[in-house]
Structure 1
Amino acid sequence: MTIQELQYLKESEDKVEFKEAKNNFPFNGGSHKEQENRRKCYLGYIVALANEGGGKLIFGMSDAFPHTVVGSNFAKGTLGGLEDAVYEKLEIRIRLEELFDENGLRVLVSHIPTRPIGKMLKFEGVPLMRVGDSLRNMSDEEMFAILSEQEPDFSAKIVEGFTLDDIDDEAFTILKDNYAIKQRNPLFGQLSQEQILTDLKLKTPSGLNYACLILLAKKEVLHTKLPQCKIIWEYRTSEVQIHFDNRIVIEGPLYKAVEEVWKLINQPLLNKKHPIQNGTYIYDIYDFNEAVLREAILNAVAHRDYSISSEVVIKQYPNKIIITNPGGFPKGVNIENILTVSSTPRSRLLTDILEKTGLVERSGQGVDKIFSLTLSEGKPEPDYSPSDMFQVTLGLYSQITDKAFHVFINEYQNSDKEPKLGVEQIITLYKVRKGIFAHLKENIVSQLLTLGLIRPVSTHTNRYILTEDFHKLEGEMQMIGKKYIATEVESIVLLLQGKKMKIGEIEQHLKNSLNRNQIKYLLSKLKDDEILITEGVAGGTKYFLSDLYKDLRGELLTNKVVEDLKAKF
């Protein structure tokens, strides 16, 4: 907007707040001690406007109508820092805009998004609303109304102008065949297209809905009707790299798009295979598990907020994948309860169809599956910690940091013992492995005790450890002589294959499994044992593989390094 347009905005009607803020305006309560005065600050007004559905906070213009320009120096030259500070305090992304009048007077416009449905923002623990020139506590009735809000099922809404001619034949065949297999109903495939869509509630008397559009529409129709329905895949060889090495935009019906995404992730050079051996037991683990990735991608598409005009983004690196989708967790879900609470999806109909056609687990089980499969491969926990109210971010790591746990789980699963371990059993075993005993389910613990996979700690109540079979495996698999742990050696040599890296770069890649002192020790020992060599001095020192190993890749490299180290001891 122009300054001239801002001058004639009305605060209540146009959801805008004007402040002169010529020289000083408190960012976060200032020096005031009373809460009523502390809240009259930059963050307080952002909270109130977001709770009212979003709006504009304008500095450098008078409150009196029509609003004259007086100029403001608030955050002059530090807009990026201001945006970061607001996000750090409120986990809300604002957008800042500077305008100047003919006299060079500066106006700062803060564009504030609405709060998520069913959630409210708080300043110093208090949800705020605007009343005239003041900010007041939200009443109990207002808070209850917000907490009781239900997100409408976006996927059930009718798409204007979307017809049967706009449906992709290949995607429809996938839906039809998958449903027939999942529901064990071979006669389903003989029904007409219109009947199938009607039976699945993708077609109503009012027309075809967004679930039908997302799942089945032709690429060009999706681009016109729902342009944010895309998946962007990017690959970078380093986490510190800003520019991508490759970027593909996947458009088209979801039944086809998910296959395209998996093919990109699963390229031979990008998704390497690692054989795990213990005696006669050999099992191949890939950097990225297909079932985990498909579940994560489909969750991102099905649970995203389609009112936000941005795409699902998948960033792939040699050692991890980050999946981000617009919109925070569904109502009632947060990082702490993500494995225990049953959520209400934003797009219920879309989720139901994906479940009925076998593409995702039953409602509420998808995240459990992601966790159990990842943990059973000996990899770090899936990481949802970067998520906030406006986006969900999932990090999946490729490093196999606990081979013994992987072998322990799979030796049981591949034995003739029954029953086999399910999602809850594997997650409980992982918690016991990590010494996490809060909120363990008694029936699952009892079952694992009966199966002989855990045993109680005699000196504590409700404390358990994995049985001796695991600890024997752990001892056998971890040590190479007295200097090395095999998984740590493998992490470093795989990272350095074909590269020269400084210790800081190595630390960035391995920070989830090793600290700087551990990395420094290992680099020193691997150099002593002629696995690595260096060039440069002090802070400029770079590490790389010696000539004996430089042409080897993947499991050939790690196997030779491990065998050579074992031979030394």
Structure 2
Amino acid sequence: MITIEILKKLKESEDKVEFKKGEGGNISYDGGSKLKPSDRRRCILGYVTALCNEGGGYLVIGMTDNYPHEVVGTQQNLNSIGELESKIYTDIGIRPSIYELYEDSKRVLVIDVPCRPAGKVFKFEDVALMRVGEELKPMSDEFYLKIIQEQEPDFSQQLCEDLVISDLDERAILLLKEKYSIKQNNPQFKLLPNEQILSDLDLLKKGKLTNAALILLAKKETLQERLPQAKVMLEYRNSESQIPFDNRIEFIEPFFILIDELWKTINLRNGSFPIQDGAYIFNIPYFNEEVIRESINNAISHRDYRRTSEIVIKQFPQRLDVINAGGFPAGVTLENLIKIPSTPRNRLLADILQKTGIVERSGQGVDKIYYNTLSEGKAEPDYSKSDNFQVNLKLSAIIEDRAFALFIDSIQKELPENEKLSVLEIVTLNKIKNGVQKNDLDSEQINQLLHKKLIEKRGKTNAVFYILSKDYYDFTDEKAKYYNLKEIDDNQVFSAIVQFLSKEENAKMKDFVGLFEDKLSRRQVRFRVDKLVSNKTLEQEGEGSGSTYKLSQDYIKEIEVISEALNIGMKEINKKRNKSIEMTKKRPNKNF
């Protein structure tokens, strides 16, 4: 957090800071009702956008813009800085840090604007802004092109000045040697001098250690001094609605020591759900070890170490969140998260994790997280709160669908190793189970699952949908549901419509469409209703969307005739039955 004494000495253009008096709290949030675009831009959102595009900086309200800057105090967003922070993020997608400073009784509001991600330009009212003197102007084409062509530098590959081998933790180096020798099947690697193994792994270049060596191997005190944001904060709360934490532990060890210590601490509060399959009972842990380790590995190898915030893990009894600075790597979005291999933000660091067997291959961590979580019948991993400035992963410990876990387990046991379900197939099965529409399903995965007879196709033309195979319903307590999902025929449609109109007397087309929702398309329903109108089972009144339908008088009379005939028939049957009983009673008994 910056101080007033430092702010007084900053220069607006050189130090990426913007000063505003705003004594009465009159700095416009979004330009208000001003007509000219150039006037509307001179607002909080405009300055935050421009500062973010410039690499981050400070919007300071309550100080003069003349150097040296004098504190005048401000009422701007008094008692509402949390709301201001939230509104800025909602409106322009930038996540600032906002705080108050005081000189005597004079209040200064500081909006600490983060640096934009590499290659990302932010806009206000669809215009990319930059500061030019006292003005906020549309960004020049040259500057815009320069930004969007940026490549993120590999922080882990950069040299860490003045870091020496004696700053590294001997135990961490030993763990690296052991893991590398096992993964590469090279026992001799453990016997090599430290300097050589560091050089072989590119952790030492031209006699200088890299930032990857710092993160993976440095002593605790060295990390604290040189890269304090490399720490991991583990917070535990007894309730998901609880704001203050019950316990907080700080981890600032080198990665090769940290990862095991962190998992052991999380596992202390781990539990499990018993799952029964016939006589066989097995336990599914609340927090799967591979899922948690991969989540932490991803956070460490993908995070932006230029940002000063640390990795935060929030553990609850049945949920765990992993939050790290920096958005998704370039090219990765929520939509393609598991479909494309990701490019690590810290390539050298990720390569070391792969070579030592911490991860199987770069970019595969998210696959494992989805694969294990869904296979255990839990909710899909939730990345929806992620943005350009942080990745936020929420993992639920609750088994939502025991039958799905058993279904996947039974399939994987039966399939040969080279045909076992992929993560994309399991994701698709989970989507089908949850009723996702066919247009949102991957056609290639659908064809593979149909071929393996793990799903079934229902409906026709526009009303096509998919269900899991009968094997899934055998694991549920709703086996009848499988048969209810079978294709509906004309007799069933006729019966359902007659039953509906017997109670409601008349209906509109939308009522019929709702009656067969997810089983017939609107076009298919209309075709069948028109057929019932043409054969005079239904009567149509009105035209177009105002049309209503009811059972026709001809059909009602026909039903009445049939009903009367049935009554007469039943009476005749009863007469004959009663006559037969009377004759039986009159027969003399014969003794033998």
Give the secondary-structure state (helix, strand or coil) at the position aligned to 1:414.
helix
Give the aligned partner of residue 552 of structure 1.
Answer: none
Give the aligned partner of residue 28 of structure 2.
Answer: 26
CA contact (8 A) 2:71 2:103 kept: no
Give the secondary-structure state (helix, strand or coil) at the position aligned to 2:89.
helix
Q: Decide whether aligned partners of structure 1 residues 406 and 7 sit closer, same or farther in structure 2, where only a CA change above 3 A counts.
A: closer
For 2:344 and 2:446, the matched residues in 1 are separated by: 30
Deviation at 1:100, TM superposition (A): 4.8
Amino acid at match of 1:97: E
Q: Decide whether aligned partners of structure 1 residues 212 and 9 sit closer, same or farther in structure 2, where only a CA change above 3 A counts.
A: closer
Relative to structure 2, which stretch is displaced further, 43-52 or 227-236? 227-236
For 1:3 and 1:192, the matched residues in 2 are separated by: 51
Deviation at 1:284, TM superposition (A): 1.6
Q: Decide whether aligned partners of structure 1 residues 14 and 370 sit closer, same or farther in structure 2, where only a CA change above 3 A counts.
A: same
Give the aligned partner of residue 270 of structure 2.
Answer: 271
Higher relative helix content: 2
Give the aligned partner of residue 234 of structure 2.
Answer: 233
What's the CA shift string for 1:489-526, capped at 9, x where partnerless?
xxxxxxxxxxxxxxxxxxxxxxxxxxxxxxxxxxxxxx
CA contact (8 A) 1:231 1:249 kept: yes
Relative to structure 2, which stretch is displaced further, 42-51 or 288-297? 42-51
Q: Decide whether aligned partners of structure 1 residues 378 and 100 sit closer, same or farther in structure 2, where only a CA change above 3 A counts.
A: same
What's the CA shift string for 1:112-163, capped at 9, x where partnerless?
2222222222223322112233322223432222122112111112223333
Q: How many pairs are equivalent?
A: 475
For 1:353 and 1:478, the matched residues in 2 are separated by: 53
Deviation at 1:262, TM superposition (A): 0.9
CA contact (8 A) 1:154 1:306 kept: yes
Deviation at 1:477, TM superposition (A): 9.0
CA contact (8 A) 2:96 2:112 kept: no
CA contact (8 A) 2:4 2:101 kept: no
Give the aligned partner of residue 169 of structure 1.
Answer: 170
Relative to structure 2, which stretch is displaced further, 371-380 or 184-193? 184-193
Give the secondary-structure state (helix, strand or coil) at the position aligned to 1:337.
coil
For 2:443 and 2:272, the matched residues in 1 are separated by: 37
CA contact (8 A) 1:230 1:312 kept: yes
Give the aligned partner of residue 543 of structure 2.
Answer: none
Relative to structure 2, which stretch is displaced further, 144-153 or 134-143? 134-143
Amino acid at match of 2:50: A
| 1:96 corresponds to 2:99 | yes
Give the aligned partner of residue 76 of structure 1.
Answer: 78
Deviation at 1:381, TM superposition (A): 1.2
For 1:249 and 1:105, the matched residues in 2 are separated by: 35
Q: Decide whether aligned partners of structure 1 residues 2 and 317 sit closer, same or farther in structure 2, where only a CA change above 3 A counts.
A: closer
Deviation at 1:65, TM superposition (A): 5.9
For 1:153 and 1:126, the matched residues in 2 are separated by: 30
Amino acid at match of 1:323: V
Deviation at 1:346, TM superposition (A): 1.9
Give the secondary-structure state (helix, strand or coil) at the position aligned to 1:314.
strand
CA contact (8 A) 2:3 2:101 kept: no
Return 5+ residue gaps in structure 2 as ranges.
Answer: 482-592
CA contact (8 A) 2:100 2:107 kept: no
Relative to structure 2, which stretch is displaced further, 366-375 or 51-60? 51-60
Percent identity between matched residues is 50
Amino acid at match of 2:388: M
CA contact (8 A) 2:85 2:95 kept: no
Return 5+ residue gaps in structure 1 as ranges.
Answer: 480-569
The structure whose RCO (Cα within 8 Å, separation 6+) is larger is 1
Q: Decide whether aligned partners of structure 1 residues 61 and 261 sit closer, same or farther in structure 2, where only a CA change above 3 A counts.
A: closer
CA contact (8 A) 2:229 2:309 kept: yes
Amino acid at match of 2:422: G
For 1:414 and 1:143, the matched residues in 2 are separated by: 54
Deviation at 1:315, TM superposition (A): 1.5
Select the structure of larger CA radius of gyration: 2
Give the secondary-structure state (helix, strand or coil) at the position aligned to 2:312.
strand
For 1:379 and 1:271, the matched residues in 2 are separated by: 16
What's the CA shift string for 1:219-247, capped at 9, x where partnerless?
23323332222222222211233443332
What's the CA shift string for 1:310-338, capped at 9, x where partnerless?
32221211111111112222233333332
Give the aligned partner of residue 336 of structure 1.
Answer: 335
Matches within 5 A, 1:396-545: 396-416=395-415, 419-436=419-436, 437-438=438-439, 440-460=441-461, 463-475=465-477
For 1:188 and 1:94, the matched residues in 2 are separated by: 47
Amino acid at match of 2:59: L
For 1:249 and 1:67, the matched residues in 2 are separated by: 38
Relative to structure 2, which stretch is displaced further, 374-383 or 327-336? 327-336
Amino acid at match of 1:171: A
Deviation at 1:276, TM superposition (A): 0.9
**What CA RMSD, in Å, does the superposition of the two structures yield over aligned residues?**
2.8
Give the aligned partner of residue 350 of structure 2.
Answer: 351
Give the secondary-structure state (helix, strand or coil) at the position aligned to 2:467.
strand
**If the length of structure 2 is used for normalisation, what is the TM-score?**
0.74
| 1:57 corresponds to 2:59 | yes
Relative to structure 2, which stretch is displaced further, 372-381 or 432-441? 432-441
**If the length of structure 1 is used for normalisation, what is the TM-score?**
0.76
Q: Decide whether aligned partners of structure 1 residues 478 and 259 sit closer, same or farther in structure 2, where only a CA change above 3 A counts.
A: farther
